[in-house]
Structure 1
Amino acid sequence: MRKPKRTKTATPRWPGRAGLVIAGVPLLLALLGPLPAGEPGPRAASFTLGGGHWLGTDFVGRDVWRQVLLGGQSVVLVALAATLLAYAVAVPLGLAAALTHRAWLEELLMRPLDVLLAVPSLLLILLVAAVFSPGAAGLALLVALVNIPDAARIVRAAASEAAARPAVEALRMQGETWWRTAVGYVGRSALRTFAADAGVRLTGVLYLVATAAFLGVGVEPDAADWAVMVDRNRTGLFVQPWAVVVPALLIVALSMGGNLAVDAVLEGRGSGREQSRERRPEDQQRQWWRQLVKAPGHGSHDSKEGRR
């Protein structure tokens, strides 16, 4: 009697594709937008629709479409740089705290981060900006600084489970380097948690950078920046809404699309591993059955019994 075949449940791919499309539009505008932007034309009246301008004009009569093409780099590049800088510091700190056997060293690494975590991130950015007046690079460093404590705590929590496994002690007894143990084994074991946190953290960093730019930190008051556009044009929202709605939608689309894409990748990898685990016992059973059927004397024994 044959066993019923298991139906393979395909992981839905549309959320990932939709996320790539949604996030791809603002990314393309941010990276390639300055190329077709061209030179600025003559300024028209403020908050006007039409007149040769696709999206009208802004609060000082500039073309909104040209400002949209130019305004993505400052937001997207600063957010990506801040996220990468935060993880470049948080991952080694979190892995070192998870793998150390010395309580004093773990306290030395994590307690200063807890103090920094207690300070509101936006308040810290405003206080530092009031003293030093940072540019785009300084804003990226500030945003990375306020994200390091939380990222390091998540890295440490995700790596602690893998660090307690017997395999880590075996690697130490074999004399493996710290890099191979921490990154090669512990880091790879917690990679899914790191990736999930990176997707959520990029959204928070993006909104933090946009909020700082909205308050005038790191950018000029009349700079071509999506967050600055929302701030400066909000007074004419009901007269010329495109100057506010379009840059706001691009910021939301970038964060929402990035989360959808990361979630789809994580779910796809997780379901693939589960399916491979489910197939292993079945494949072993089939292989055992084939070996049994092809065993010498098995077929001849059955034929003799049939003749009798």
Structure 2
Amino acid sequence: MKRKPARYLLALGLIVLPVLIALLGPVVAGPAGARAVSFASGDGHWLGTDFSGRDVWHQVLLGGRPVVIVAVAATALTYLVAVPLGLTAALTHRTWLEETLMRPLDVVIAVPSLLLVLLVAATLTPGPVGLTVLVAAVAVPDAARVVHAAAVEVSSRPAVEALRMQGESWWRTTIGYVARSLRRTLAADAGIRLTGALYLVATAAFLGVGVPPDAADWAVMVDRNRTGLFLQPWAVVVPALLIAALSMGTNLLFDAALQRPTPRKGATR
């Protein structure tokens, strides 16, 4: 039986608008307009202007790309580091090496992520590259533990022992069987990891970490205009809703992709 499309449609409905704005917004935004003198919608500012007179819609169009690109890049970098680290620790026959690789990660996980953001950001140059490295550094320990735990379970299967007895190489056993068996686990974790990256990117920008305070960024817009929420709500509500829609849609999309089809009643096995 085919999967019901309702969850896919809901996920896509939440994701499409933020992604389109992030990808195409800077292209269609055009040059920055002149600063207005009031918060009222009109005079070409159909969402009004923010506290400094900037057109809100123009800032929304420009502010999505940094959030999305940094979150996606940080998630990719996280797995580029975490997957080899977790696999090596799980499949090594040397206990000392496994302990050396995994125990420092426990220490990092014990520290709150926001505190790590503030500590690491103090040594990084502000900008998208530094913020990407920062978010990835915070996410690697937890992702590596997920990979390690899943790989330990897979490596204990009789199939892996049979491959070893046949003299198969470590590379073929690790990549050809163990890593391929982790695809569903990694796919399920990727949705959570990308949502977490979006959260950390938005939080870092909200705190002014790694992002200039006057940058065109959705999270910076929320922080910059929150004191005037009741005077000009669109400058806060629109970027906040776009971030929330992207996070919720991402999780729903991965959940829908991993959902197993329900067998029909009376179907033969």
Report the TM-score when normalising by structure 1: 0.82
Q: Distance in 1 between matches of 2:60 and 2:212?
A: 16
Q: State whether structure 2 residue 181 is matched by structure 1 residue 181.
A: no
Q: 1:216 aligns with which of 180, 194, 208?
A: 208
1:97 corresponds to 2:89: yes
Report the residue type matching 1:106 in the other structure: E
Q: Provide, for residues 170-189 of structure 1, a one-character-per-residue CA deviation record: whole Å limited to 9, x for no partner.
A: 22233333332222211221
Distance in structure 1 (CA, Å) of the matches to 2:38 and 2:178: 57
The total of aligned residue pairs comes to 267
Letter in 2 for 1:86: T
**SS of alignment partner, residue 261 of structure 2:** helix
Per the alignment, residue 296 of structure 1 pairs with: none
Cα distance in structure 2, aligned partners of 1:47 and 1:74: 26
Question: Normalized against structure 2, the TM-score is what?
Answer: 0.94
* 3-state SS in 1 of match to 2:122: helix
What are the superposed Cα offsets for residues 224-259 of structure 1, whole Å, 9 maximum, x if unpaired? Answer: 000000000112111111110000000000000011
* Equivalent of 2:4 in 5, 12, 18: 12
Q: In terms of mean alpha carbon deviation, does 238-247 or 10-19 score higher?
A: 10-19
For the pair 1:147 / 2:157, whether they are aligned, the reply is no
Percent identical: 69
Alpha-carbon offset, residue 51 of structure 1: 2.3
CA contact (8 A) 2:126 2:212 kept: no
- Who is 1:200 aligned against? 192
Corresponding position: 1:137 with 2:99: no
Q: Which residue of 2 aligns with 1:271?
A: 261
Aligned mate of 2:159, from 167, 175, 200:
167
Please list every run of 5 or more consecutive structure 2 residues that lacks an aligned counterpart in the other structure: none
> Which segments of 5 or more consecutive residues in structure 1 lack a partner in the other structure?
1-7, 282-308
1:228 aligns with 2:203: no
Q: Distance in 1 between matches of 2:177 and 2:129?
A: 34
Map of 1:1-308 to 2, 5 A cutoff? Answer: 10-267=2-259, 270-271=260-261, 279=268, 281=269
SS at the partner of 1:86? helix
Counterpart CA distance in 1 for 2:180 and 2:117 is 33
Distance 2:156 2:242 in 1: 43
Decide which moves more: 178-187 or 234-243: 178-187
Report the CA distance shift for 1:254/1:28 in structure 2 as closer, same or farther (over 3 A).
Answer: same
CA distance in 2, matches of 1:131, 1:218: 10
Contact 1:23 1:254 in 2 (8 A): yes
CA distance in 2, matches of 1:197, 1:212: 22
Query: Which of the two has higher C-alpha Rg?
Result: 1
> 2: CA distance between counterparts of 1:131 and 1:265?
39
Equivalent AA in structure 1 for residue 207 of structure 2? L
Change (3 A) 1:95 1:46: farther
* Cα shift at 1:46: 4.6
Cα distance in 2 between the residues matched to 1:32 and 1:236: 28
Residue in structure 2 matched with residue 290 of structure 1 by the alignment: none
